[in-house]
Structure 1
Amino acid sequence: MTKTKLKERQIEIFRVVMATNSLSAAAVHLGVSQPNVSIAIKRLEDQLGIALFDRISGRLVPTDEARLIFAEIDRVHTQSQMLSETIHSIARGDASTFRFGATPSISMRLIPKALRRLQERQVAGTYYSDSLGQRDIRDYLMFGRGACVATIAEICDPIIETEKIAEAGLVCVVPFDHSLASRTVIHPRDIEHERLISFAPLTTHGESIDETFRRAGMTRKTAVYVHFVEAAMSFVAERIGITVLDGFSALDCQQQGLVAVPVADSVCVAAYVHTYRLRPRQSAVNHLIAALRETAAAAATDNPRSVIRSCPET
Structure 2
Amino acid sequence: MRFAEIETFRALMRGSSTRKAAALLHVTQPAISQSLKRLEAQAGMLLFQRTGGRLVPTPEARALWIEVERVFIGMDAIEHRVKSLRDFGVTQLELSCFPAYGLGFMPRALARLKAHRGASPWPQVSLQVLSSKDVRDRVAMGISDFGLMADELSLEGIDHSTFSRLPGVVVMPEGHALARFKTVKPEQLAEAPFLALNPEDPSHQRLEAALAPYGVAPRVLVQTPYAASVCEMALRGLGVGLVNPITALDYVERGLVVRRLSIDVHFTCILALPAGKVLSATARDFLSLMRLQLAEDEKRMQRHLR
TM class by smaller structure: 0.5 to 0.7
2:281 aligned residue: 283
2:98 aligned with 1:100, yes or no?
Answer: no
Larger Rg: 1
**CA distances 1:187-240 after superposition (whole Å, capped 9, x unpaired):** 121120201111221123322322332354423331111121222122112111
2:114 aligned with 1:114, yes or no?
Answer: no
User: How many Å separate the matches in 2 of 1:268 and 1:215?
Assistant: 17
- Correspondence list, 1:1-314, <5 A: 97-122=92-117, 124-153=122-151, 156-214=154-212, 216-305=214-303
Q: SS in structure 2 opposite 1:118?
A: helix
Task: Count residues in correspondence.
Answer: 217
1:173, distance to aligned residue in structure 2 (A):
0.4
Contact 1:166-1:293 within 8 A present in 2 as well: no
User: How many Å separate the matches in 2 of 1:161 and 1:143?
Assistant: 12
1:158, distance to aligned residue in structure 2 (A):
4.6
TM-score of the pair, normalised by structure 1:
0.62
User: How many Å separate the matches in 2 of 1:124 and 1:151?
Assistant: 26
**RMSD of aligned alpha carbons:** 2.6
1:34 aligned residue: none
Cα distance, 1:215–1:267 mapped onto 2, change above 3 Å: farther
| Structure 2 unmatched runs, 5+ | 1-84
**CA distances 1:156-212 after superposition (whole Å, capped 9, x unpaired):** 535311122322101110112212223211112112020111122112332232233
Identity of aligned residues (%): 16
TM-score of the pair, normalised by structure 2:
0.63
Contact 2:231-2:241 within 8 A present in 1 as well: yes
Task: Pick the structure with more helix per residue.
Answer: 2
Q: SS in structure 2 opposite 1:115?
A: helix
2:80 aligned residue: none
Contact 1:149-1:273 within 8 A present in 2 as well: yes
Q: SS in structure 1 opposite 2:271?
A: strand
- Kindly provide the amino acid, as one letter, of the partner of residue 171 in structure 1: V
User: How many Å separate the matches in 2 of 1:183 and 1:108?
Assistant: 29
Q: SS in structure 2 opposite 1:181?
A: helix
